[in-house]
Amino acid sequence: MCEDVRGGIPLIGDKFPEIEVATTHGPMKLPDAFKGKWFVLFSHPADFTPVCTTEFAAFQKRKGKFDNLDCGLIGLSIDQVFAHIKWIEWIRDNLKIEITFPIIADHGDMARKMGMIHPNKASNTVRAVFIIDDKATIRAMIYYPQELGRSIDEVLRAVEALQISDEKKVSMPEGWPRNELIGDEVIVSPPRDVKGAMEKKKGPNCYDWWFCHKRLGGKV
């Protein structure tokens, strides 16, 4: 019988594991380094690779938008710190983009703990994304294969949508805020009894009692 390679990989809703890491900004302890704020941890297969370079450029260009959401960024790959430093120097000198977020130099311990290494892809990490909230809870996990670059706009959208969902106690439709059915509106929780269901069914912003929507800050 094959060993279960998933082991103790964390799941959505789990607390982010405490771990000390070496980074381009010096030693850090996670998740304490981002205490009280959201952060995105993302792995990339290797430094000095073209797809990863496009992703880092995109993350940095959107860093101000992540900052506006009080959300930090931290990258990771199984490369040494000096390789990270040389790579971000290359990005600065050749693409005129200064990478200002830290990058973890992992020896494989954290990557294995977080399920970032695909068993059929040697020791390189896949393109994993973890969105962690201000209470150090893992809220979303997104995995891409090495050959497919991520949409950084989607990561940003997910952080913003999760924060609004928490604050307003609503759900977010596909593609929010550009959903094909309800545009930038959000979905409200369905009623929990027959009376409430019949009342909602008559509402102008309801397809049915179980599918009602509203503008942010508006009423159903």
Which one from 2, 52, 206, 212 is the annotated catalytic residue?
A: 52
Question: What are the pLDDT digits (tens) for 62-93?
Answer: 999 999 999 999 999 999 999 999 999 999 99
* pLDDT for res 63: 98
* Rounded CA separation 114/159 (Å): 19
pLDDT digits (tens, 9 = 90+) for 18-69: 999 999 999 999 999 999 999 999 999 999 999 999 999 999 999 999 999 9
Separation CA 114–CA 10 (nearest Å): 6
Residue 120 has a CB neighbour count (10 Å cut-off) of: 6
- What does the pLDDT look like over 181-206, one tens digit per residue? 999 999 999 888 998 888 888 778 99
Q: Residues spanned by CATH 3.30.1020.10 within the chain?
A: 169-220
Whether residue 218 has pLDDT greater than 80: no
Beta-bridge partners for 143: 128
pTM of the model: 0.91
Tokens of 108: 């494989």
Quote the pLDDT of residue 220.
66
Rg of the Cα atoms in the chain: 20
Burial class (CB in 10 A: 0-12, 13-18, 19+), 197: middle
CATH 3.40.190.10 fits 169-220, yes or no: no
| Higher pLDDT pick, 118 / 94 | 94
Please, which residues have CB within 8 angstroms of residue 24's CB and are 6 or more apart in sequence? 81, 84, 85, 88, 102, 103, 105
- Six-digit token string for 45: 């297969």
Q: List, by residue range, all CATH 3.40.30.10 domains of the chain.
A: 19-151
Q: Is 52 known to be catalytic?
A: yes
> Looking at domain 19-151, what is its CATH homologous superfamily?
Glutaredoxin (3.40.30.10)
